[in-house]
Structure 1
Amino acid sequence: MKHAKFVSFTAVGAQTARKAAALLPEFLTERYARTVDPSLSGTQLSRFAQQAMVDCDLIVFVGAAGIAVRAVAPYLAGKAFDPAVLVIDEAGRFVIPVLSGHLGGANALAQRLADGLGAQAVITTATDARAAFAVDTWAAAHDCTVVDPANIKYVSGALLRGETVGLRSDFPVEGRLPAQVTLDGTPESGFYIGFDIKAAPFAHTLHLMPRVVFLGIGCRKGTGAQTIEQAALAALDAAGVPWTAVRGVASIDVKQNEPGLLRFCEAYSLPLTVFSAETLRALPGDFTPSDFVARTVGVDNVCERAAVCAAAGGVLLCRKTAGDGVTIALAQQDWRADFDEKQLEDGNCEPHNDGN
Structure 2
Amino acid sequence: MTPSQISTSAVSGRRTQLPTSNKPQPHQWARRLAEAGVRRYSGLVVLAVLIVVFGVWTPLFLTHTTLISILNAQTLTAILAIAVLFPLAAGVFDLAAAQNLGSTALLVAYLMTNGHMGVSLAIFCGLSFGLAVGLLNGFLVAVMGFDSFIATLGVSSILLGTTVQLSKGSYVGPVPESFQRLTSSSPLGIPVITYYLAVVVVVAWYVLEHTPLGRRLCATGANREAARLAGVPTGRYIFTTMVVSGVGASIAGILLSSQTVSISADIGPAYLLPAYAAAFLGSTQIKPGRFNIWGTILALAMLGTGVAGLQLVGGGALYIGNYFNGGALIVAVGAAIVLKKRGDRKRRLAQMKAQASAPPPLAENPRSATAAINNQEAE
- Same fold, judged at TM 0.5 (above): no
Q: Which has the larger radius of gyration?
A: 2
More strand per residue: 1 or 2?
1
More helix per residue: 1 or 2?
2
- For this structure pair, what is the TM-score category when the shorter chain's length is used for normalisation? under 0.3
- Return the TM-score normalized by structure 1: 0.23
- Return the TM-score normalized by structure 2: 0.22
Higher relative contact order, structure no. (Cα contacts within 8 Å, ≥ 6 residues apart)? 2
